[in-house]
Amino acid sequence: MASCRDGRRKSRRGWRKGAQGQLVWYRRKAKARQEAALAVELSRQRDILSRAEAFTRQLQAELAEAGRLHKIVQGIIGELRI
């Protein structure tokens, strides 16, 4: 069993180690957990947004290609009508 220099047993509870009360310790731990969860959520949302932007760019490129091909087909159809 570990003990302090003055003979007392070391505390297994984190809030007893510092100079803060139990409620403050638990509040700080909860706030840290909440901030970590928020950071993970923001990272996940950034990844989703990045994939959505890439998908949008791909769709715009395909739409531009479809427009170009449409003009070619319209030209061919116009030549056939003559």
pLDDT tens digits for range 1-18 = 455 566 666 556 665 666
Provide the pLDDT confidence category of residue 82 given band limits of 50, 70 and 90. low
Q: Is 82 helix (H, G, I), strand (E, B) or coil?
A: coil
Instruction: Write out the two tokens for 69.
Output: 């091909």
- Cα distances from 32 to residues 8, 19, 28, 36, 58, in angstroms, run 30, 18, 6, 6, 39
Pairwise CA distance, residues 72 & 66, whole Å: 10
Query: Amino acid identity, residue 41?
Result: E
What pLDDT was estimated at residue 55? 98
- Residue extents of the structural domains in the chain: 14-81
Pairwise CA distance, residues 73 & 70, whole Å: 5
Q: What is the pLDDT of residues 25-57, one digit of tens each?
A: 889 899 999 999 999 999 999 999 999 999 999
Asked whether the beta carbons of 15 and 26 are under 8 A apart, the reply is: yes
What pLDDT was estimated at residue 25? 80
